[in-house]
C-alpha cells in the first residue's frame, strides 16, 4: 500500500514540472477538485493503473514509442494555420487554427487513445474496454485496438446504438465487439456503469480506456498528458511562425480534453489567456444546455469532484447540445480548478451560433469544422473584431465536420435552423 502511495507522490511531483499543478494539496487533486470517490474494488484498480502510469512516464522509451505513433500513424505535428480570409473578413485580431481535424480519424481523440493503448500494452494487457455515447470515443478506441492487436469491447446504451448505427458499424469493421446496454434509460450513464463493473472485476487483464480528461484519478492526469502534445506543438509553432506566444487560446469544452491539452503547457505563461467555450445549447434552463461550469456547481459525480449540472434532487441533470461530443453534465477537475482560480475564463456559445460558425469557416477557409469545434470558432468570431490587429488568437480545431454534415443537412431540410 505504501508503495502505491509513494508512486502517487512521485507522479504528482512530475506533474508539478509538466503543467504547474503546484497548488495541489494531494495527488489527484486540483485545488478542491478531482480525487477518487469510488468503491474500494475500483480504488484498487485505479491505484494499480496510477502505479503503472507513473512507471511508464518515468521511462523515456515510453515517450519515444508514443511519439513514434503520433508522427507516423496520426500524422503529427498538426499544422498551426493562419486563417487569413476569416481574420481579414472579421477585422481585428489574427486567428490561427490548430488543425487537430487533420489527424487520422479526424479529431484530437486519437492522441489520447494511442497513449493509453501503449500504456495497456506495457502493462501486458490485451483486452480493452470503453464506453461511448455518440460513438466517437468508441471508434477511436476500436481504431487503436486494431492497430495494436488488442481485443476491444465497447459498452453502449441500446438507445445510442440505434441513434448511432453507423458508428456501431465502424467499430465492428475495426474488429470491436459492441455490447448494447439495456438497463435504465439505455444511454451513456448505463454504459458507464456496465464498463465500471467489468473494470472492477477484471482490471488485472483489462484496460479501461477513458475518452476525456474526467473521471477519478489518475484518468484526468493521463488524458491531459497525452493531449498536451497539442499545446506543446503550438508553443513551438507560435515561436517559429510569430516569434512569440499567442495572446488567447480558445477551445471547446465537453469533458475538457482538447482544451486542457492546449492550455496546460501554457499554464505558467500568465500573459497567455485561456478561454474555454461551453455548449450553451438553446437556453439557460436545465436540459437546454451542457455548460457545466457556467450553469453548474461544485459536486461529486462519476467518481470525482468538479462543476456539474444537477437537477433538483442533486443528481446529474439532463443536458443537450447540437454537438454530441459536448453533451456531458460534468467537466474535468483541472478546468474546474482553472475556473475557481480564474486562470481560465469559461463562456458559452449557443447551438445557433455554433451552426453559423460551422458555415462561416467552411465558406471562408474551405475547412468544415466539427460542431464541437464550431463552438470555439464561434467565440473567436465574436472576440476577434473587438481586439487590435496585433493580437493573436489560437483556436483549437478539435475535429472535422464530415461526421456532422448529414445532421446539419437534416436540420436545414427541416428548416429548423438557418435560412
Ligand atoms: C469528443 C470531442 C470533443 C469534446 O471532448 P473534449 O474532451 O472536451 O475535448 C470536442 N471536439 C471533438 C471533435 C470531439 O470529437
363-407: pLDDT as tens digits = 999 999 999 999 999 999 999 999 999 999 999 999 999 999 999
Q: Rounded to two decimals, what is the model's pTM? A: 0.93
In terms of domains, do 96 and 114 share one?
Answer: no
Domain assignment of residue 23, yes or no: no
pLDDT of residue 414: 83
Same domain for 294 and 398? Answer: yes
Ligand 1: residue whose CA is nearest its atom 3: 325
The span from the CA of 287 to the CA of 297, in Å, is 15
Check whether residue 264 and residue 293 sit in a common domain.
yes
Q: Which residue from 97, 107, 210, 291 has its CB within 8 A of the most atoms of ligand 1, so it is best to mutate? A: 107
Same domain, 217 and 346: no
Residue 376 lies in a domain: yes
Residues 80 and 134 in one domain: no
The rounded Å distance from CA 1 to ligand 1 centre is: 36
Going from the C-alpha of 226 to that of each of 111, 129, 213, 267, 379, the distances in angstroms are 6, 19, 10, 16, 26
Q: What secondary structure letter does DSSP report for 326?
A: G
255: CA distance to ligand 1 center in Å? 7
Domain boundary among 165, 196, 223: 223
Within a domain: 3: no
* CATH number of the structural domain spanning residue 118: 3.40.50.1100
Q: Report the pLDDT value the prediction gives residue 12, as an integer from 0 to 100.
A: 35
Residue 114 within any structural domain of the chain: yes
With the most atoms of ligand 1 within 8 angstroms of its CB, the residue from 258, 278, 375 to mutate is 258
Catalytic residue set? 109, 131, 398
Reported residue count of the chain is 419
Q: What is the CB < 6 Å shell around ligand 1?
A: 107, 109, 136, 212, 252-258, 325-326, 370, 372-373, 398-399
Q: What is the pLDDT of residue 17?
A: 39
Ligand 1, residue 227: give the atom nearest the CA.
9
From ligand 1's centre to the CA of 98, what distance in Å? 14
Q: For residue 327, is it within any domain? A: yes
Query: Are 313 and 375 in the same domain?
Result: yes
Give me ligand 1 centre to Cα 51, in Å: 27
Show the domain range for 42. Answer: 30-65+109-223
Same domain, 387 and 266: yes
Atom index in ligand 1 nearest the CA of residue 100 equals 13
Same domain (yes/no): 210, 289: no
Name residues of the chain where pLDDT drops below 50: 1-24, 419
Q: Answer yes or no: do 61 and 89 share one domain.
A: no
Burial 346-358 (b: 16+ CB within 10 A, else e): bbbbbbebbbbbb
Q: Residue for cell digits 494487457?
A: 125
H or E segment at 46?
Answer: helix 40-58
On whether residue 45 sits in a domain, the answer given is yes
pLDDT > 70 in the chain, percent: 93
- Ligand 1 centroid to 230 CA: how many Å? 13
Please give the C-alpha separations between residue 59 and each of 11, 43, 66, 119, 131, in angstroms, as whole numbers. 12, 25, 12, 11, 29
User: Are residues 344 and 365 both part of a single domain?
Assistant: yes
Report how many domains make up the chain: 2
Per-residue model confidence (pLDDT) at position 187: 86
What is the C-alpha to C-alpha distance for residues 6 and 29, in angstroms, rounded to an integer? 16
Assess whether 139 and 274 both reside in one domain.
no
Q: How far is the CA of 6 from the centre of ligand 1 (A)?
A: 33
User: Do 294 and 346 fall into the same domain?
Assistant: yes
pLDDT at res. 25: 54
Atom of ligand 1 nearest to the CA of 101: 13
Distance, C-alpha 290 to centroid of its chain: 14
Candidate of 103, 106, 261, 399 to mutate for ligand 1, largest count of ligand atoms within 8 Å of Cβ: 399
Residue where a domain terminates, one of 223, 245, 267 = 223
Residues 167-206: tens digit of each pLDDT: 999 999 999 999 999 998 898 889 999 999 999 999 999 9
Closest Cα to atom 7 of ligand 1: 257
Which residue's CA is the nearest one to ligand 1's atom 10? 372
Q: Domain end: 223, 241, 261, which one?
A: 223
| pLDDT for residue 240 | 98
| Mutation test residue for ligand 1: of 188, 252, 274, the one with most atoms within 8 Å of CB | 252
Closest C-alpha among 176, 84, 184 to residue 130 = 176
Please tell me the distance between residue 108's alpha carbon and the centre of ligand 1 in angstroms.
Answer: 7
Whose Cα sits closest to atom 14 in ligand 1? 325
Atom of ligand 1 nearest to the CA of 223: 7
Amino acid at each position: 500500500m505504501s508503495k502505491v502511495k509513494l508512486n502517487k507522490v512521485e507522479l504528482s511531483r512530475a506533474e508539478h514540472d509538466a503543467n504547474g499543478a503546484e497548488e495541489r494539496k494531494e495527488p489527484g487533486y486540483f485545488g478542491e477538485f478531482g480525487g477518487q470517490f469510488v468503491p474500494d474494488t475500483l480504488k484498487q484498480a485505479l491505484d494499480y493503473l496510477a502505479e503503472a502510469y507513473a512507471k511508464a512516464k518515468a521511462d523515456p522509451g515510453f515517450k519515444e514509442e508514443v511519439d513514434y505513433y503520433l508522427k507516423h500513424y496520426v500524422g503529427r505535428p498538426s499544422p498551426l494555420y493562419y486563417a487569413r480570409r476569416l481574420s481579414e473578413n472579421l477585422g481585428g485580431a489574427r486567428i490561427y487554427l490548430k488543425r487537430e481535424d487533420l489527424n487520422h480519424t479526424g479529431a484530437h481523440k486519437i492522441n489520447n487513445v494511442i497513449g493509453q493503448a501503449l500504456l495497456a500494452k506495457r502493462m501486458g494487457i490485451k483486452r480493452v474496454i470503453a464506453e461511448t455515447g455518440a460513438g466517437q470515443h468508441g471508434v477511436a478506441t476500436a481504431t487503436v485496438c486494431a492497430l495494436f492487436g488488442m481485443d476491444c469491447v465497447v459498452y453502449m446504451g441500446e438507445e445510442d446504438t440505434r441513434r448511432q448505427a453507423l458508428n456501431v458499424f465502424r467499430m465492428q469493421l475495426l474488429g470491436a465487439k459492441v455490447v448494447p446496454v439495456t438497463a435504465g434509460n439505455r444511454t451513456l450513464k448505463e454504459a458507464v456503469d456496465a464498463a465500471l463493473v467489468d473494470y472492477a472485476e477484471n482490471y488485472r487483464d483489462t484496460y479501461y480506456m477513458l475518452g476525456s480528461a474526467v473521471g477519478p484519478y489518475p484518468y484526468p492526469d493521463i488524458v491531459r498528458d497525452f493531449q498536451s502534445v497539442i499545446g506543446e506543438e503550438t508553443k513551438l509553432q507560435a515561436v517559429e511562425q510569430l516569434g512569440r506566444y499567442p495572446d488567447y487560446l480558445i477551445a471547446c469544452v465537453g469533458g475538457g480534453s482538447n482544451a486542457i491539452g492546449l492550455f496546460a503547457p501554457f499554464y505558467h505563461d500568465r500573459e497567455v489567456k485561456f478561454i474555454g467555450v461551453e455548449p450553451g445549447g438553446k437556453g439557460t434552463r436545465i436540459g437546454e444546455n451542457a455548460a457545466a461550469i457556467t450553469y453548474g456547481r461544485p459536486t461529486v459525480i462519476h467518481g470525482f469532484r468538479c462543476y456539474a449540472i444537477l437537477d433538483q434532487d442533486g443528481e446529474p441533470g439532463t443536458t443537450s447540445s447540437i454537438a454530441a461530443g459536448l453533451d456531458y453534465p460534468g467537466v474535468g477537475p483541472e478546468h474546474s480548478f482553472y475556473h475557481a482560480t480564474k486562470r481560465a475564463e469559461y463562456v458559452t456559445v449557443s447551438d445557433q451560433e455554433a451552426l453559423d460558425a460551422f458555415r462561416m469557416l467552411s465558406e471562408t477557409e474551405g475547412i468544415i469544422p466539427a460542431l464541437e469545434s464550431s463552438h470555439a470558432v464561434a467565440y473567436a468570431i465574436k472576440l476577434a473584431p473587438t481586439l487590435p490587429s496585433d493580437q493573436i488568437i489560437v483556436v483549437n480545431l478539435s475535429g472535422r465536420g464530415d461526421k456532422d454534415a448529414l445532421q446539419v443537412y437534416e436540420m436545414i431540410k427541416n428548416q429548423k435552423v438557418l435560412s
